Structure 1
Amino acid sequence: MGGQSAAGKGDMRTVIFDLDGTLADTSGDLIAAANTCFRQMGLGDVLVPQSDAGIALRGGKTMLRRGLERHARFDADVVERYYPVLLEAYAGAIDVHTVLYPGAMQAVRALRDAGYGVGICTNKPEALAELLLTRLGVREQFASMVGADTLPVRKPDPEPLREAARRAGGDPAHCVLIGDSDTDRNTAAAAGVPSVLVTFGPSGADMAALKPEALLHHFDDLPAIVSELIG
């Protein structure tokens, strides 16, 4: 029913995905880039992939800040100075450890086949998001891609979500955001649309407390959840 409803409306429904921690586990490559910076500082490999994945998915500056705090060396100027170094290191090895979550692309294709527009709204810089999706061989599956620097504002401001919906051919009032954080929850709430938070990422156990409109335990369940939420 979801496909008929979505395709039958003049205002196309859209499903917009966050990227890091939602569609793909990017933490390994992000941590490797941060550790490149820490090694240059003489601190060695500060972050550990197995235990620091949640930190990684909060962004590059958070990784630098948290790593420096562990050595009691936090300095905002150091974070700003090394952030471009981190981005360069990450761009050079962006898909070494990164993997798409099981069933992610099958769900995306099922949604497209059902008539939904599908796009991405991420706080990863646009060029890096484009590079990663291309390297993973899935960029063409998404009708839109709005990154952290695509617009003057970023999530949790609602405008990037709305723009991702528009660029995917949809009405921003009839979309749903699939994410993995309070940022995604707050973005959807600010836009007045539902959010679905995944429970299989590093912070999955914390998602229920954010009270999204739905929790996603496996991508196999996503088409039915979307149909329930936006028709």
Structure 2
Amino acid sequence: MSQPEWMPDAVTFDLDGTLVDTAGEIAAAVNATLAEFDVEARPQAEITALIGDGLRALMLRLMAQLLLARPSLAERLQPDAALASLERHYALRVGASARAYPGAASTLQALRAAGVPTGCVTNKDGRHARMLLEATGLIEHLDLVIAGDTLPQRKPHPSVLRSAAARLGVAPHRLAHVGDSRTDLQAARNAGAADWAVPHGYNGGEPIEAAAPGRLFDDLGAVAAHVLALRGHRLAA
């Protein structure tokens, strides 16, 4: 007799590139920061490829690339000043142009209606994460938000999703985490959770298929449809 397919008791989602498309406003904030230091703007694709470990890490990586190519920039592009500037510019833009991906709200609603707790686990700073979730109307559909400054560690450290599972009242091996990057998949694997992915998002400009997710869904709606089917529910049209 075949064994029933594994079914999660809770589902968590990454934020940038998974629930919400934020690349445009992040790139705008980064380029506004560079302009303040008289550094030419960078293409959005270049900035997007650095999304995934929080705004601070993105800026430090970009600065390292810029200084490697043009060491003379070190005279005017100092890390502390640039990071403070980026914080100001992003705070002015967060949630202004970002858009929830199709099916984000309905997916979270459907899962919770079926008794499946949902959470957002992101490396973005908590203040910005909540502003973004409020601006897109998603925060009301979440049982939990863990941000980059909530815990001592960040994804992909195993403690992050283990903490998320505990707060949602499930064992780590009963949690599925949905993301768009290698960081998300590794975070799930490290915690003993299911590593699920959607194909939109960033992942350093690399197709998420290259990271071999445990399950790849066409979109967010397909995540809800899969979980609800396992629980004997049907996703509302």
Q: TM (normalized to structure 1)?
A: 0.84
Alpha-carbon deviations, 1:7-35, whole Å to 9, x = none?
Answer: xxxxx811001000100011111111111
What pairs up with 1:181-196 in 2 under 5 angstroms?
Answer: 181-196=181-196
Number of the residue aligned with 2:3:
none
Number of the residue aligned with 2:104:
104
- Write the distance in 1 (CA, Å) between the matches of 2:89 and 2:168: 31
| Letter of the structure 2 residue corresponding to residue 155 of structure 1 | K
- Write the distance in 1 (CA, Å) between the matches of 2:92 and 2:39: 21
- Write the distance in 1 (CA, Å) between the matches of 2:224 and 2:165: 17
SS in 2 for 1:55: coil
- Write the distance in 2 (CA, Å) between the matches of 1:110 and 1:43: 46
Q: TM (normalized to structure 2)?
A: 0.82
For residue 63 of structure 1, report the CA deviation from its aligned partner.
3.9
Moved more, 77-86 or 179-188: 77-86
Q: Is the 2:52–2:183 contact (alpha carbons within 8 Å) kept by the matching residues of 1?
A: no
Number of the residue aligned with 2:212:
211
Q: Is the 2:181–2:202 contact (alpha carbons within 8 Å) kept by the matching residues of 1?
A: no
Alignment CA distance shift 1:181-1:202 (3 Å): closer
Alignment CA distance shift 1:230-1:149 (3 Å): farther
Query: Structure 1 residue 164 and structure 2 residue 160: aligned?
Result: no
| Letter of the structure 2 residue corresponding to residue 220 of structure 1 | G
For residue 149 of structure 1, report the CA deviation from its aligned partner.
0.9
Number of the residue aligned with 1:42:
38
* Root mean square deviation of aligned Cα: 2.7
For residue 169 of structure 1, report the CA deviation from its aligned partner.
3.4
For residue 84 of structure 1, report the CA deviation from its aligned partner.
2.6
For residue 83 of structure 1, report the CA deviation from its aligned partner.
1.6
Aligned sequence identity (%):
33
- Write the distance in 2 (CA, Å) between the matches of 1:136 and 1:169: 26
* Runs (5+) with no aligned partner, structure 2: 1-5, 233-237
Alignment CA distance shift 1:212-1:158 (3 Å): same
Q: Number of paired residues?
A: 220
Alignment CA distance shift 1:193-1:65 (3 Å): closer
